[in-house]
Amino acid sequence: MFVKLGEIFSKYTTDQNLDLQMEALRLVTPMIGNQIAQLSYELFHTIMTSTIPEDTKWEAARLTMNGAYNWDKYLPWVEDPKDVLAFLEHHFHLQAKGESQDIPITNALRALAYASGKETIEALKKFDCTQSSYVKGICRSFKDEKPFQLRKAILFYVPLVESRWFDPAVDLLDEDGRREFCQDWASGVDGIEQTKDVKKAVASVLFGMANSAKWRSHIPQDKWKLLEYFNELPDESPSRLRCEANEEFIPALKAMDNRGVLKLWLAILWRAYADLKLAVRDQLVENTKEVIGASPHDVGLFMAVMESEKTAVDNEMLGYSRWSIDEKAIKLREKTDKLQQAKKKLEDVVESVVEEKAKQLDVAIS
């Protein structure tokens, strides 16, 4: 049936009546199953490129998108996101006009967030994220009154666009809008089980917010502790790397007067010490001296983060011989060397603090 419908839609002529085909779609797309989902996805693309009347086209697209992405057990992989993005943009626009479009928006976000890869990332780089209906659509999707599946999907979608959404040079939202977005995002985080994938999505967005002075001040205080999800992100995570390279970030955390967050961030930086900019390295060393000078037991926090990182690398290396020339194995050995460099530098910093305290004690005694 799907093949026959595809042929009819793709060869449509203006003298055709599509009532029977639309009725067939309404009957078959609500069915559940892997094959139904895959065939619905393929038919969706046919419909989006067809010349059938606009109203019929969008109804057919909604039906096939729902057939493809309304079932968690199988989500067709999005190889070409262009049509899905056009579908999402259209329904954000309809929503901005006051129409309820939760189901089609949910389906589009599920497709992009759960079942796509590099192709979607590249397409989103060219996508105009500044459109008013798009910006409002993203914000509205986080609202408490929205269906759970929509709020979950948007939580996973925003990491795909975080570099542009939280770009310090771009004002997608005003001050009140940023505050409201952060509060709604935090509510969404609270309303979902903290699985490994959720932690990864949360960390990506949190680092994106934290890197921007415009957004940073609106992060709810209780969400800063979620920086501890840093190790759920891959080494090449753009949002975390931007924070690690940001010379304004440590001073900003100090100005917040939240010693716990500052200590956690210093610990995160120590695991990346070998790759840090010199200016950030200097900040890390000086602030670490201040922290352990006042609270020596915090050395344990810094060491624990590095040991955790080392354990993760060792576990990954179990699949390779120590002399393997596999590209992944080479990178893991390099990472081990860098962690050893960081540990040695931290030990030197601790020793210098101990020596300085000893000198101060000698002076006080004499």
Span 265-309, pLDDT tens digits? 999 999 999 999 999 999 999 999 999 999 999 999 999 999 999
Q: With bands split at pLDDT 50, 70 and 90, how would you rate the model's confidence at 226?
A: very high
pLDDT at 365: 67
Phi, psi of 332 (to 5 degrees): -65, -40
User: Mean pLDDT highest for which of 18-27, 123-132, 318-327, 341-350?
Assistant: 341-350
Residue 212 to residue 223: CA distance in whole angstroms: 16
Residue 153 to residue 231: CA distance in whole angstroms: 22
**What single letter denotes the amino acid at residue 338?**
K
Total number of domains in the chain: 1
Q: Which range, of 12-21, 144-153, 157-166, 219-228, averages the lowest pLDDT?
A: 12-21
- Residue 331 above 90 pLDDT? yes
Is 221 inside any structural domain?
no
pLDDT at 32: 85
Is 324 inside any structural domain?
yes
pLDDT at 16: 84
- Residue 328 above 70 pLDDT? yes
Q: Which range, of 4-8, 86-90, 205-209, 330-334, averages the lowest pLDDT?
A: 4-8
pLDDT at 357: 76
Is 216 inside any structural domain?
no
**Contact (CB, 8 A) for 204 and 239:** yes
**Contact (CB, 8 A) for 68 and 102:** no
Is 340 inside any structural domain?
yes
Averaged pLDDT, 185-204: 96
> Tens digits of per-residue pLDDT, 13-32?
887 888 888 999 899 888 88
**Contact (CB, 8 A) for 89 and 131:** yes
Is 283 inside any structural domain?
yes
Q: With bands split at pLDDT 50, 70 and 90, how would you rate the model's confidence at 204?
A: very high
pLDDT at 356: 82
Identify the helix (H) or strand (E) that includes residue 110.
helix 102-114
Averaged pLDDT, 232-260: 93
The strand pairing partners of 116, in sequence order, are 78
- Residue 10 above 90 pLDDT? no
> Tens digits of per-residue pLDDT, 57-98?
999 999 999 999 998 899 999 999 999 999 999 999 999 999
Is 266 inside any structural domain?
yes
What is the residue range of 290's domain?
256-366
Q: With bands split at pLDDT 50, 70 and 90, how would you rate the model's confidence at 9?
A: confident
Which is higher by pLDDT, 243 or 19? 243
Tokens encoding 310: 């080392």
* Percent of the chain whose pLDDT exceeds 70: 98
Averaged pLDDT, 23-45: 92
pLDDT at 130: 86
DSSP labels for 229-297? GGGGS-TT-HHHHHHHH-TTHHHHHHHHT-HHHHHHHHHHHHHTGGGS-HHHHHHHHHHHHHHHHH-GG
**Contact (CB, 8 A) for 343 and 306:** yes
Is 302 inside any structural domain?
yes
Beta carbons within 10 angstroms of residue 366's beta carbon: 5
**What single letter denotes the amino acid at residue 360?**
Q
- Count of residues making up the chain: 366
pLDDT at 154: 97
Averaged pLDDT of the chain: 93
Q: Give me the residue label for tokens 């609202």.
A: 143
* Percent of the chain whose pLDDT exceeds 90: 80
Is 35 inside any structural domain?
no
Averaged pLDDT, 100-128: 94
Q: Give me the residue label for tokens 């920086």.
A: 227
